[in-house]
Every structure is written in C-alpha cells, then in structure tokens.
Amino acid sequence: MALCLSSTSVIAAPDGAPRDLDQIVVTATRTERAIADVPNTVDVIDRARMDALLVRDIADLFRYEPGITVGSSFGRFGLNDIRIRGLGGNRVRIQTDGIAVPDAFAIGSFSNANRNFVDLDTLKRVEVVRGPTSALYGSDALGGVVSFVTKDPADYLGEGRTAHFGTKLGVTSADEGLFAGATAAFGGERWSGLVAVSHRQGQETGNMGEVGGTGSARTQANPQAYAGRSVLGKVVFAPSETQRFKLTVEGNEDDVDTDVLTSYGLQALTGATNTQVLGEDHQSRARVTFGHEIGGLSSALADSVDWQLYRQDSRTRQDSVEVRRVPSGGTVIRDRRERAFHFDQRSYGLQANARKTFETGSVDHAIAYGLDIERTETKQKRDGRRIFLDTGVVTNVMLPDVFPVRDFPISDTTRAALYVQDEIGFADGAFRLVPALRVDHYRLDPEVDTIFREDNPTTQVADLRETSVSPKLGVVWKFSDAWSLFGGYARGFRAPPYNDVNIGFTNFMFGYTAIPNPDLRSETSDGLELGLRFAGDVGYASLSSYYTQYDDFIESTRYIGDDPVTGLMIYQSQNVDDARIRGVEFKGGLYFDTFAPALEGWSLQGAAAWSRGEDRTTGEALGSVDPLTATLGVAFAREAWGAELIGRFAGRRDRLPAAPAGSAYFESPGHALLDLYAHWRFAPGTRVDVGVFNLADRKVWQAGLVPVVSATSATLDRYTAPGRNVAVSLSVDF
C-alpha cells in the first residue's frame, strides 16, 4: 500500500487527460517549443502526472510509455538502465538539468554500478527524445535522451504568493516501502528559494515465485532492506525582469542490504559450499551548479543567453561477504571472503547557450548555438581479503586476484563541443526546416598508478583523441490547423569508453588475459523518422515510423586468439557489431466532452510501440528489443475527485538470439494487466491518491525484466512481476 503527502497542488495541471501535444518542451530543440512543433518523437511526464500515477522509481515512471523500458536484474542490484527503442546503458544520455548523470559500469558478479541516481520527488518534469540526438547532446546520445528537470521556486510561487510549504509521506505494498518528504519555497521581488527533502525505505520488491529457502532453486526475491535520502536546494536572484542568477545544490544517496539466499549452497564452478552471502551497496551523487540567464538583449549575436558552471561527484561502493566451506585434500577449509568494489566519478563543466531570432524576407530564423565543456575523472577499484576461519590467517590473495586491483587505469576524459541549430520557418511558420550540426572533441588521458601497474606489469595503456561531427535535419509541415507531418534524419555517436580502450586483466588460473585496444572507433547511428500528428479540441494523436542503423558497436572483451608465448587466451574490446532497429509508435487521446456536454470529464488515452531489431553481422534478432507493447486508459475527472483505469498489454517475446543447438530460450508470453487509480481532494490543498496495480493478480513476465535464459529453466518464476499491490497517497499544501 502507499500513502503520500505531496507538494503538488501549485504546479499540478487540471485533473483529466492533458493536451499532450500542447506541452512545452526544451530537450528536443534546446528551445521552448510545443511538442506539436518539434521534428522528433518526444514524451513528457510532468509533476502532476507523476503524482497521480504514484511514481516512486524509474520503472513506475515509464510504466505506460511503450518503447521505453527499464532494465532490472534479479538477486541484488535491481533497476539498472533505461532503454529507448531497444538501446540502453551508456548509449542513452540521461541528464539532470542538462548535466549527464554518472556512467554505468559492471564487472563480475559482485560489482554493478548503475545510473539510477535521481530522486524523482525532486523533479517537475521528465522529457524523453527518442532516437539519435548527438547533434545537440553529443556522445552517449546514440539512442536518445532522458532529461530530468528539477523543481524551481517559481513553480510554487506567483499570483501574490510569497511562500509555500507541502509535505509528503506514504507506503507501498509491493516492497513494504515508506516514503516522506517536504518542499518549502519562498520569494520576493528579487530573491527566491526552494528546499526539497525526502526519505524512503523498504524491502525487496516481491514477485510471484513460490520456492523459498536457500540455494539456486529459490525463485522468491532475495531479502533486502533499502533506505535513501535526497535534498534539493535552490537560491534565485533576479536583479531585473530579464536576468536571473541561480545556485543549485543537490544530493542523493541510497543504501541496500541484501541477503543473497540464491547463492547459498554448493557452487558447481568452484566446488565450494556457501553458508552465507551478503551484499551492502551504497551509492551517492552530489552536484553544485551556478547559472545565469539573461534575456531581452539588443545584440546582433543573441536575444538571450544562459550559462552554468557545475561540479558533480558520484560514488558507488559495494561490499560483499561470502562464508564458505571448501574441500581440500580430504579436509574442509572454512574461509570468509570479503570484497569491496568502488566506482567513483568527478565532473566539472561549463555549458553556454545563446538564441537569436531574425527574418530574411519572408523567412523566419530561430538560431540556437552554444558550447559544452566537461572534464571527468573516473576511478574504479576492487579490493578484498580472504580470512581462514580455522587458523585466523588473513591474505589479500583471492585467486585469480591479488587485491587491490584496477580493471582499467584512472582515466581523465575531456569533452569539448560546439553546436548550432537553425529553425527556419516558411509560409508564416507552416513549414519549418530544422538543420543542426555539432562538433565534439573527445580526449582520454589514462593515469597508471601503482595498483594498476602491479596487477598489469606489461600492459601498455594508450590515450585517445577523437573528433566527431553529428548532423541533423528535421522537418515540420503544418498542412492544416490540426494536422502536421514531421520527421528527418539524425546522426548519433558514442566515443570509445575508457574501460574498453585500456582494460587490463589477467587470469592465469583460467588461462586468459584482457588487453587494451587504442584503435577503437566511435559507435555511430544513422536514424530516419517520419510521422503524422493531429492536435485539436477533440483530442490528439501522433503516429511515427523510424529506421535506425548502428555501426561499429563495441563488443567488450572479445576472444581474438591465443598468445604464442604465454599460451593465454587473449580478449580485447573491438568494433564488430552492426545492427538495425526499426519500428512504429503511436500515442493519442480523446476528450469526450467535445462530443457531448454530458460526457464532460471523460477522456481516453492510448499508446503502442512495435519494433524489430537485428544484428546485421549475424542476422540474429536483438534480445534488447521488446515485443509489441501498448497501453489504453479511460479516465473520469471532476474538480474534487476522479478515477482512471489503465490496461497494459504486451505480445509474446518470440524474437531472441539463436540458442545453442538442441536448446531454446524462454519466450515470455504475452499478457494484459489492469491498473486502477483514484483521487479525492477532500479539503483545500489536500489530496488522496490511490492505485491498485495488477488488479486481477495475474502472473506475468515483463519482457524487459527477463534475461536471455533457457526455456527449461526451473527458476523462471524469479523474473515474474509483482502480483496485486496497492499504493495510497496523501498530499497537503499550504
């Protein structure tokens, strides 16, 4: 169940279905434009919608957005990435107020740094641009952009209001979670500020597995306890109506403790028997940003300018403990293995943007241009020790490792870019061309310290210098008041990652080594999109098709042969994979009051995504591309109360990579789920929201959460979604 107090009434939109295509977005063109006027497929989820849907994490956030999938792993590490049209990981740019969130990195069973660093309670809006977006956002926007926009004091003040206070608290039944928060805003003619704090805690998210106990046969979720905290603070100084200075301080941290019961018992690979496996995971992100916005300029170069300086620090620490019994020469050795994984990033950056509008005859121009400069230091380390419980002997030798080790050297990366975009309007804006171009320069400078060198005495690391040019051409044609065509071409790229360029790892026990590759090329994508939109009083609709070709995908640690001197198998990251993904997407809604006044308050919303992906090198299907998915919801809203019933639908996941001869992979069956929401404003400034998910308590496998696993596996129920669960929310604002 969920109960929540939330500061939303000031920024909440009127109840009922929003006029989606009228919403203003910035991410798609770096200028303020209604969705109906951008040449991309764009999704917007505002604060009011997040609260109405009782959104607690990124999986909740994109629950009703077909074509956008949140990945998750069973056992310990949970939610891990956001996939857009089948592409995820570090190939999608995720940013908060324009600043990229830290990278993901994983190696082995005990280390997995994800990108789930943002507390959604601090946001006022989320914008998603689907498809290659490197012409505006550079490296890592290969598959698209997810843009988190945090709250501002102005979202709560205005119309004579100089102060606002709201509180939030609640519970969720799927993970027995509790959450609480508060938002305070104040302001006058020139100064304003905002502070938002939140706390969350809970347990593992349940599934519909029935096998408990310990060992590899367990299908129930492993026991977990999590806790998280966040703070967002902003101070704004507006010396005039055309200027604004803003200082932002943001911090977020999460802790998760896991009793990994599925790893207890005999381990076939090592012959050891685990009697205890525990995980303690901590991650945190903090940033400080100082920015300045100025408009109303009388300059030939710009009408408005904004810039911001920032520093961002992230830290992931994951501690693991294994207590084992190991047979050895007729005796049993009892030992305790302690591992610690660290992944830290520190970034400094400057972003500056300018906009200028002018006319040349009957043609309108809206030019946006700017620069992005960022320097990031990345450190990764694995440490550990082995304690022999019978003798008390302690050693840092835990073969194949002699701790501490780094799997790549400390890496400094510098990104510098210039971009320009012109929105060219013809026929009073009825036809618009949107060309854009960005030039990125990427530098990688590794630093070999004692830890890396002792573990990799002969590895020759390399620096990297690469320049990439990313063009884009978009088109929007309003051929009537309500109808328009949109589409265009966009190129994406991703610079070779530091860990692939300079990986260093040797395992003499199992006879292999991983070596650097300074000759890696950037991954690239070329995307085409064509769509049709309708926006009128009766409703809205958007139908688009896309085709994207990806080249030079980097396959990490690929086997390339044997070393003739040492006999070790050699692994190296290489550009080997080419892929293509194509699909069709739809989103639309109807407002029934336009058909009959008696139907005022009734609305219908729906969305669907169909896609196909192939590895062009092998001809096999891409397992990361979801089957057909769709949502359909009907809502009724009055000023004081309302309700919404939403169905979630998915087809069978029958396009998977080829399985080994004589075997088959599990194809998650199609499913249909129903969710029910209701809200009630029972007093001024106070609102209750209720959500019941999976109303029929059906057992389903969500394709995005199921790994490629054998169809005969006895533990398929591990990957099932939760059964019926409830959320209740209460919000109070003053």
**CATH number of the domain bearing residue 470:** 2.40.170.20
Higher pLDDT, 168 or 705: 168
pLDDT at res. 437: 97
Q: What is the mean pLDDT of residues 591-608?
A: 94
Q: Are 519 and 542 in contact (CB under 8 A)?
A: no
Q: What is the pLDDT of residues 634-688, one digit of tens each?
A: 999 998 999 999 999 999 999 888 888 889 999 999 999 999 999 999 999 999 9
Provide the mean pLDDT of the chain. 92
Give the dihedral sign, CA 159/121/233/244.
Answer: negative
pLDDT at res. 359: 93
Helix, strand, coil % over all residues of the chain, rounded to 5: 5, 60, 35
Q: Is 5 within the bounds of a domain? A: no
Q: Is 9 within the bounds of a domain? A: no
Q: Are 29 and 38 in contact (CB under 8 A)?
A: yes
pLDDT at res. 20: 67
DSSP calls for 564-614: TTT--EEEEEEEEEEEEEEEEEEEEEEEGGGT-GGGTTEEEEEEEEEEEEE
pLDDT classification of 10: cutoffs 50, 70, 90 = very low
What is the per-residue burial (b if ≥16 Cβ within 10 Å, else e) of 33-59?
A: bebbbbbbbbbbbbbbbbbbbbbbbbb
What is the per-residue burial (b if ≥16 Cβ within 10 Å, else e) of 384-396?
A: bebeeeeeeeeee
Matching residue, tokens 């929310």: 729
Running DSSP on this structure, what letter comes out for residue 329? T
Q: Which domain holds residue 457?
A: 20-302+312-733
Q: Is 10 within the bounds of a domain? A: no
Q: Which of 650, 645, 544 is nearest to 604 (CA)?
A: 645
Q: Is 145 within the bounds of a domain? A: yes
Does residue 612 have a pLDDT over 90? yes
Q: Which of 481, 485, 465 is nearest to 38 (CA)?
A: 485
Q: CA dihedral defined by 561, 562, 564, 567, rounded to 10 degrees?
A: 180
pLDDT classification of 13: cutoffs 50, 70, 90 = very low
Residue 595, amino acid: F
Domain total in the chain: 1
Q: Is 3 within the bounds of a domain? A: no
pLDDT classification of 158: cutoffs 50, 70, 90 = confident
Strand partners, 188: none
Q: Is 8 within the bounds of a domain? A: no
Higher pLDDT, 443 or 506: 443
Q: Is 29 within the bounds of a domain? A: yes
pLDDT classification of 125: cutoffs 50, 70, 90 = very high
pLDDT at res. 36: 87
Residues above pLDDT 70, as percent of the chain? 97
Length of the chain, please? 734
Indicate the pTM of the whole model: 0.94
- 3-state secondary structure at position 154: helix
Q: Is 2 within the bounds of a domain? A: no
